[in-house]
Structures are given as structure tokens and as C-alpha cells.
Amino acid sequence: MVQPLFLKPVFQERIWGGKGLKEKFAYKIPHSKTGECWAISAHLNGPSTVENGPFSGKTLNEVWRNHPEIFGYYGGDTFPLLTKILDANQDLSVQVHPDDIYANLYENGELGKTECWYVIDCKEGAEMIYGHNAKTKEELIKMIKNKDWDKLLRRVRVKPGDFFYVPSGTIHALCEGTIVLETQQSSDTTYRVYDYDRRDENGKKRELHLKKAIDVTKVPHIDVDNKFIVTKYKDLIVTTFVENEFFVVHKWKIDGVASLTMDKPFMLCSVIKGNGTLRGEEGKYSFNKGSHFILPAKTRNFEISGNCEMIISHL
């Protein structure tokens, strides 16, 4: 089986969500506060569904569990990656994620959550919270207790095309007016540090997780030195954003025809701009902005033609 797996996303309502996923990607969102598109997901809290081929109608976790050959017999009980598109119509809560060891101990064997963001679009002057200014754990605890958020939290400006690597233990938050593609470990564990004293539709403040958040926050914060690698081919520009033990993430910019060879167990592909055609050994498949698919292990040689940009991730 060398057909790509095209996937139907799952949409998640969030207090900070909006209509951006409909406006930017023409998705049929279920709610006016849709915050997350779980585009390529085998997580039990929102598994995406295969839309084509012999596995049509099956969830990705079913295919992962029952057909390991499609994924190069990579192994493991859990599909390791999760691709999302987030619409931050309002500020997200200030939060932090655990690593694998902490999550395994305190979150029923869940994976940790290291992630990264590619900024698809944002309003002029948009910001994100990335890191903190505490020098010691004691200072971190004191500043949180005193709600000294302006002094504690570090804010950075963002623009379309920016990329941010967010390792576990990093305090962070997307801010209003930002749409990003997120590549992460397949985890749904988040510890809220601060939520602007917002209240939900029932008038209740959302739960904070201060003890766990303090436990896992890295002190002091150390910025990641982003050194991107750009490789130019005839009709293809590949930008490699990050390579580590959790994932490798690239952007492919194609204008014309790109002939490619896959030597990974599988690849996750998300189209963030334009449209085109994927040609493989078993036929051709059209895609457009907002399409998401997995290239299985036996894809080998394939060709992409069109004018498009895609975010690609693999192990």
C-alpha cells in the first residue's frame, strides 16, 4: 500500500478561538470559537479519519495499531506526532508542558509535550509569550504568587513566516491575532500558569496547575538558537527548521515540479499555501491549501507539481 493517507481534521472549541480557520482555510468549523484544527492526529482526544483508499473511514490510531507496515514498522503503542493549526482569536493561557519522564509519572503514561510553531498569519504587531525572567525557582514562585506577570513574562513580536521551537519546560502562550501550524509530540497535557482571570460561559475561572507548572518549568529560561538550513533545488526550496529526538520539521516551497525520494518511516504533510498534485507509483492526487496527508513507508519516489508551501514533519 503506497497510497498517501489524506486525513479529515478534528476541530476543537476553545475559549480563545474564533472563525479564522474558516476564513483562512475554508474549513467547515463547528463553532464560532473554534480554536484548534487537529489535522494529523491519532490522539484519543481527537483522532483524525482517513478519507481515501482502503482505510477510508478508519481513524489514524486504528491504522497505526493494525497496519504497522504503513509506517515502516516504526513501533510503539502511540503514534508519536500531532499536527495542529491554531487560531488565537484571543490570548491563550500562559502555560508550560512536561517532558516525557514527568508526564509518564503524573499523567497516566502520557507523552511529554515538546512542540514548535510556524506562524502562518498574524495581525500587525502580534506577540507571543516565550520564556520568563526568573533567575531561580524561588524567584519564579514569588513572582507567580505575587501575580507579577509583566515582570515575569517575556514577550516577543511575531510575523508571518516566523518559526519558534518550544521545548518542554518553556513558559509560553500565543497571543491574539495569530494563526500557527503546530508540530508536537502526541500529547494533550498542558499546565496553566495564568489565564488573565477569564471566566468561561458558566462564569467560572479555568483551572490553573501551579504546582505542576512550577515543577516542570526550566529555570532560568534559555532561548533556543534557531539556525535554519535552506537548500535550493530546481523548483523546490527546503527550509529545515529543527532536527532533534522528537521530530524534524521542514518547509517545502514548490514552484513547478519537484521530484523527491522518501527515506523515512513516514512523513506528515500539511499544505499551508497554494495547491498542486502529488504523483506516486499508484496514481495522482490533488491537494489544496488546508489539505493534510501522510506519505507511507513504501512511497519511495514521488513528484509534487504546483505552486504551494507545505510544512513537513517526520521522525
Q: Profile the chain (315 residues) by mean pLDDT over runs of 10 residues.
A: 91 97 97 97 98 96 95 92 98 98 96 98 97 98 97 98 98 98 98 94 91 98 92 97 97 97 95 96 93 94 97 97
- Catalytic hit among 192, 198, 199, 279: 192
What is the pLDDT, as a whole number, of residue 281? 81
pLDDT of residue 157: 97
How many other C-beta atoms lie within 10 A of the C-beta of residue 213? 23
Task: At 298, give phi and psi (nearest 5°).
Answer: -90, 15
20, 85 in Cβ contact below 8 A? no
Over residues 70-85, the pLDDT tens digits come to 999 998 889 999 999 9
What φ, ψ does residue 294 adopt, rounded to 5°? -115, 130
Q: Output the CA torsion 29→35→40→43 (10° steps).
A: -110
Tell me whether the omega of the peptide bond preceding residue 296 falls within 30 degrees of 0, making it cis: no
Could you give the 3-state DSSP secondary structure of residue 72? coil
CA-CA distance, 26 to 48, in Å (whole number)? Answer: 18
**Spatial CA neighbour of 90 closest among 23, 200, 14, 191:** 14
Q: Are 314 and 247 in contact (CB under 8 A)?
A: yes
Alpha-helix residue ranges (DSSP H) falling in the chain: 20-25, 60-66, 100-106, 137-145, 149-152, 210-216
Concerning whether 192 is annotated as a catalytic residue, the answer is: yes
Interstrand relation of 229-232 and 191-194 (parallel, antiparallel or unpaired): unpaired
* 190 within 8 A of 182, measured Cβ to Cβ: no
266 near 70, Cβ under 8 Å? yes
Q: What are phi and psi of 102, to 5 degrees?
A: -65, -45
